[in-house]
Structure 1
Amino acid sequence: MSMQLSQNELQDQPPPHAAAQGVDDLDQENAAMDPVGMMLVRSFRDADQPGRVTLSLPAGVESGATPFPAPHLLRMIERTFIDLPESDAIELAPGLLERTLHSDHDLALVSVSAAGKTVSFERKAFFQSAAPWLHCRPSSCMPLTSVTEMGKIRHPQRPPEPRGLVYERYDPVIDMTISFRAIDPARDLETFYSWMNDGRVAFFWELAQSEEELAAYLETLRKDPHAFGLIGSFDGDPFGYFEVYWAKEDRLGSYYDADDYDRGWHGLVGNRRHLGHAKTLAWLRALTHYLFIDDLRSRKVVGEPRASHTKLLRYADDVAYYKVKEFDFPHKRSALMQCDRETFFETVRL
């Protein structure tokens, strides 16, 4: 089976989904050429290895022809993984990589291994790349220096909190783009106040306060180097608030053997239009993905929801979280939930 995709189909688009096809549709021809004459790339299923797919140049196209920009190659790889969810690797046929314009930054973040005369992208490695989805400076760029806060925990110095958009990716399961951006009190305080004063949210967050008090809360958070707030959106429509943190110096860090780069999160869905099973799994996948690609040194993502929060806990298996134990904070009984990097990228289809 084959599918031809043009540079024009990928130019200046979000992660492509409108033209995404199922496996049974791969024999349909979508041949086209963009206005500047970029040649097509065709993907082929390998009948001998059904889990592997090959991307190659069309017959007769020379490797020295017009270069193919690396960002579009990465989109092509992502699209192929979306179209073929059972595939575990994509090979680049001879000539394609040589024809790709790339810098060390463009492709070095993607795990590439030589396999004869081809180059392979393993699914579980490709989705650990920050390049296609992370929109801020990765935390892993922070030099390794340690600090001790208030004479207590010694931990790596943390990077400044991000500004603006930090993550964006199309989710094929819900056919929507999910994104996270840093919360901006000047822009988001009214929405933040509305959500925190919703009884459904207030039961868990206990922050049903005035706008002035919540503004002070966000200002305190802004000064805290171990945590920051995010607004999550589906197709640009804000749906929830999330606080992500470095677990070692968090209150949770003293309740388990925390590594230096463990990440954790708290979250709420305030926009009732975006409640439901499918969207909950979508933001759980995306938030966990963001935390893992933000710093490749992070081996675990953790959480401490109420042990009685069965609605949230029932989603754990589908996104590779598991319960380590139950324990008591001064104000609640919690479940220590953990997601391991290797398991997440091996078992969760993004």
Structure 2
Amino acid sequence: MTVSPMSPMSPLSSPADATLDAAVAAAAALGTTDTPERTGVEDLDDDTLRLTHRALRAGLSGPLTEANRWGAVALPPGRFSFHELHLKRDLPLLHEWMNDPDVARWWELGGDVDVTANHLAAHARLTHATAYVGCLDDQPVSYWELYRADLDPLARHYAAKPHDVGIHVLIGPAHHRGQGLGSLLLLVVSELILRAAPDTQRVVAEPDVRNAASIGAFRRAGFRRSVDLTLPGKTAALMIRDRHRDATGPAA
């Protein structure tokens, strides 16, 4: 699988950044009515998010294939939701995003439209992964690949645990970058995955070690840097979001 970190973000402060906590608290508050203000990502409730409660199963089944049915999460920038990827409809936009120099540097999918189309078609044939367009108020702003990391070739390079879920993400429109949106969406999406998939204990990512902005964004979203991995085509920082935030565990 192509290993693809997110586009650069502007620096914020720390994984426990109060700004992110406030944003997620606002997400919960905006998603309900006549309820007291909540604090922290743990207060995003399942009724608001309309999550499935089925455990992930082997192959292309379970909650990862149903993220477009999770509903919308109200965030300060808008209501975030996953839309199922449709090649014919979404290819022109994704091709444009992939040819943005800030994106192409890391995804390495710049070029003719066939380059993007071939990547999306190859990804669609995978039996352990699915792709989505992430939207704010139904307007596309991001591209996501969610996959069973323990069933992926990545598992040959780290101590994978059953039901590990991996994330690839990019923020498409340039005017949405540099505002902390990537950190906020990573925080919310990783929480959504853990809520939807009770058998999953970890969400993982593998940005290029040279992409300090991406690594920082994952850290601000609650991921920890575990170990550096030598992967085909790059050296990656293994970022892990544990179900239990105080989990440390041995280096993977």
TM-score of the superposed pair, with normalisation by structure 2: 0.76
Corresponding residue for 1:169?
Answer: 73
Deviation at 1:319, TM superposition (A): 1.9
Question: Larger Cα Rg: Structure 1 or Structure 2?
Answer: 1
RMSD of equivalent CA atoms = 2.8
SS at 1:85's partner residue? coil
Q: 1:41: which partner in 2?
A: none
Q: Which residue of 2 aligns with 1:178?
A: 80
333, 339, 348: which is aligned to 2:241? 339
Matched positions, count? 219
Displacement of 1:266 in angstroms is 0.8
Contact kept in structure 2, 1:165 and 1:182, CA below 8 Å: no
* Greater length-normalized contact order (CA 8 Å, ≥ 6 residues apart): 2
CA offset at residue 85 of structure 1? 2.3
Q: Tell me which residue corresponds to 1:85.
A: 39
Deviations 1:214-246 (A, max 9, x none): 223222222211111111112222111111110
Pair 1:300-2:226 in alignment: no
2:157 equivalent in structure 1: 255
Matched, 1:201 2:103: yes
Gaps of 5+ in 2: 1-26, 247-252
Q: Does the CA contact (< 8 Å) of 2:163 and 2:201 recur in 1?
A: yes
User: Where does structure 1 lack aligned partners over 5 or more consecutive residues?
Assistant: 1-13, 18-73, 87-122, 145-155, 345-350
Q: CA deviation at 1:132?
A: 2.5
- Determine which of 13, 19, 32 is the counterpart of 1:75: 32
Mapped to 2, the partners of 1:281 and 1:163 lie a distance apart of 19
In percent, how many aligned pairs have the same letter?
A: 22
Give the superposition deviation at 1:84.
4.1
2:191 equivalent in structure 1: 289
Contact 2:150–2:161 (CA<8 Å) still a contact in 1?
A: yes
CA distance in 1, matches of 2:78, 2:172: 18
Structure 1 position 230 matched with structure 2 position 132: yes
For 2:217 and 2:118, how far apart are their aligned partners in 1?
33
Q: CA deviation at 1:328?
A: 1.1
**Is residue 133 of structure 1 aligned with residue 49 of structure 2?**
yes
Please tell me the residue identity of whatever aligns with 2:188: A
* Residue 166 (structure 1) shift: 3.8
Equivalent-residue separation in structure 2 for 1:312 and 1:223 (angstroms): 27
How far, CA to CA, are the matches of 2:70 and 2:83 in structure 1?
5
Q: Give the helix-richer structure, 1 or 2.
A: 2
**Equivalent residue number for residue 221 of structure 2:** 319
3-state SS of the aligned residue for 2:120?
helix
Paired amino acid for 2:100? D
- The 2-side partners of 1:15 and 1:268 are apart by 24
Is the 8 Å Cα contact of residues 148 and 163 (structure 2) preserved in structure 1? yes
Deviation of 1:165 (Å): 4.5
Match of 1:117 in 2: none
Give the 3-state SS of the residue equivalent to 1:265 in structure 2: strand
CA distance 1:157–1:237, change in 2 (3 Å): closer
SS in 1 for 2:160: coil
The whole-number CA distance in structure 1 between the counterparts of 2:111 and 2:71 is: 29
CA contact (8 A) 1:300 1:338 kept: yes
Q: Partners in 2 of 1:15 and 1:76 — Cα distance?
A: 10
Structure 1 position 138, deviation (Å): 5.0
TM-score w.r.t. length of structure 1: 0.56
